Amino acid sequence: MRTLEAIIPPHRVTGRHLQRVSMLPDRNHLSPFLRLEYTSGKQDPAIAPLERTDVPLYRGAESVTLVYDGTLTYNDCRDNSRKVSPGDVHWVTAGNGLLHHHHCDAGVCQTDGIFRFIQLQINLPAHSKTTRPRQQYLPHDKIPCWHLPEDKGSIDVIAGAYNDVTGSISTFSALHVLNARLQAGARVGFSYPAPFNTAFFVLNGTVTFNDRITINAGQLALLANDNPDFTITAQEAAVVLLLSGAPIAEPVEQQGPFVMNTPEEIYQSVRDYNWGKYGYLEE
Amino acid sequence: MFDTLQSYLSQKALVSANEFSELLPFLAFKQVPRGAFLFWAGDICHHHFFVQKGLLRSYTIDESGKEHILQFAPENWFIADRSSYYFNEPSAINIQAIEDTEVAMLEKGFIEKALEVSRSFRAYHEKMLQNHVRHQQIRINMLLSATAEKRYRYFTDTYFDLTLRVPQWMIASYLGITPESLSRVRKELARRHE
């Protein structure tokens, strides 16, 4: 069975109203996944009705937003705009240059103000860093889903595959992103090639890894690259985000919203930004 | 605690480790959380501040309450109110952290001691002063005569990646233009590259 390498605590918590927890202190831990940020809390409209919610990526990587509560509003420099509602997934490929951001939706701020969402940063391999920008939007009811027997829950297959269900998101490297909603007692098995970097983040509830190790809400379990198979069992109703992907064995240079392979490429990316080559987006 | 400053002075002013150790009594370390103030207008400035990590801004507030940004200081930059420091008069500027910041505070005797213990520091200090005056002249000329686009381009040449760390309204304040004018400049630059 695949073993547990570490339980990673949050390494950075920011935000006065919406608390943002950053789960991947070392970007090499989980290549191609660079960063996982979990934001939750109640937004006070009197203080910051349109708080920026993400650290966007403008070149060389992808930004994935999964909303659990609240609604976010997306805008980019190509005049694209959309709402991302609970259960939806918004997969943005910055490629060779796209200015974009998500805001907490003003309507939600003025009602209950509750927000809960995850944002992933995913690296692109060198040969795809200059791909054309694109966005893939999956409303919740269009996400392929695998149902556990006896109504024990379901697994949304956002990217990659689980059993005979294949996700509809197109990716630039081999990876899997699954969102499991498990009832108490549900036990599910997973299998990915041992070299795939694999981890899961528990949003709600408590689960047991390989029937032995308890992982609590708010913890990220980083798995070893030793064996393919492992199990997750829900001790109580739980929501778990599972990530697995083939590592991109290339150097990573990141400065702010740019993820490239060399310092020279970063320099050029910032220069292009300053000169307006990605277009314009109002702050 | 002062590794960044030591490395900077070693590279730029050829200050040796032994020479730097003689300067340690004139140094203090301070952490300034994002949004907090390092220095307030009305006080007398007794230090030069060297940014080891993070980002500071200095600014004044006019009679109508409007802010005017004089300088940004990212990593490896010095910032101070020289008028207040050298003439012992109350300062008109505030210095505030834009990001969580760590500074080395150079006390009054630091520069005199550095001039005494390091011959190479004298040349560096002279050059730094001349460079400071040069930039002030360019900045005055820009504010008097340059177009908004020329000012923005000079800003990106000087600070390069601060466009990613500083909100647009602060850049506009530094350039002496309105945020709307800065938006127009950036839109125009983007339009030319379509």
Residue A16 pLDDT > 60: no
For residue A271, what is the enclosing H or E element?
A: helix A263-274
Low-confidence ranges of chain B (pLDDT < 50): none
pLDDT at position A15 is 60
Beta-carbon neighbour count of residue B129 at 10 Å? 11
Q: What does the pLDDT look like over B18-50, one tens digit per residue? A: 999 999 999 999 999 989 999 999 999 999 999
Label residue A14 by pLDDT band (50, 70, 90).
low
Instruction: Record the tokens describing residue A271, joined without a space.
Output: 């220069």
Q: Which residues pair with A82 in a beta bridge?
A: A74
Residue of A274, A277, A279 with shortest CB distance to B163: A274
For range A257-268, the mean pLDDT: 94
Residue A149 pLDDT > 50: yes
Q: What does the pLDDT look like over A196-240, one tens digit per residue? A: 999 999 999 999 999 999 999 988 999 999 999 999 999 999 999
pLDDT at position A55 is 60
Label residue A115 by pLDDT band (50, 70, 90).
confident
**Backbone torsions φ then ψ of B67, nearest 5 degrees:** -85, 145
Whether B158 contacts chain A with CB within 8 A: no
Asked whether the beta carbons of residue B163 and residue A270 sit closer than 8 angstroms, the reply is yes
Label residue A139 by pLDDT band (50, 70, 90).
very high
Asked whether the beta carbons of residue A273 and residue B164 sit closer than 8 angstroms, the reply is yes
Find which of A255, A271, A274, A282 to mutate to test the B interface (most B CBs within 10 Å of its CB): A274
Question: Directed axis angle between helix B148-159 and helix B168-175, to 10°?
Answer: 110
Cβ neighbors of A201 (< 8 A, separation 6 or more) are A23, A36, A38, A118, A219, A220, A221, A240, A241, A243
Q: Regarding predicted confidence, which is higher, A13 or A269?
A: A269
Q: What does the pLDDT look like over A19-45, one tens digit per residue? A: 666 666 566 678 999 988 888 887 766
Residue A179 pLDDT > 90: yes
Q: Residue B96, CB half-sphere, CA atoms under 13 Å: how many?
A: 16
Whether A12 contacts chain B with CB within 8 A: no
Label residue A60 by pLDDT band (50, 70, 90).
very high
Q: Which residues pair with A154 in a beta bridge?
A: A147, A181
Contacts of B187 in chain A (CB under 8 A): 276, 280
Residue A53 pLDDT > 60: no
Find which of B189, B191, B192, B194 to mutate to test the A interface (most A CBs within 10 Å of its CB): B189
Please tell me the distance from the alpha carbon of residue B177 to that of residue B173, in angstroms, as a whole number: 6
Q: How far is A74 from chain B (nearest CA, A)?
A: 19
Question: In chain B, where does DSSP find H-type helix?
Answer: 3-13, 17-23, 82-87, 109-117, 119-145, 148-159, 168-175, 179-192
pLDDT at position A50 is 47
Please tell me the distance from the alpha carbon of residue A190 to that of residue B162, in angstroms, as a whole number: 44
Q: In Å, how far are A175, A268, B27 from A96, measured between CA atoms?
A: 21, 12, 45
pLDDT at position A232 is 98
A263: cis peptide before it, omega within 30°?
A: no
Asked whether the beta carbons of residue A255 and residue B161 sit closer than 8 angstroms, the reply is yes
pLDDT at position B38 is 95
pLDDT at position A44 is 64
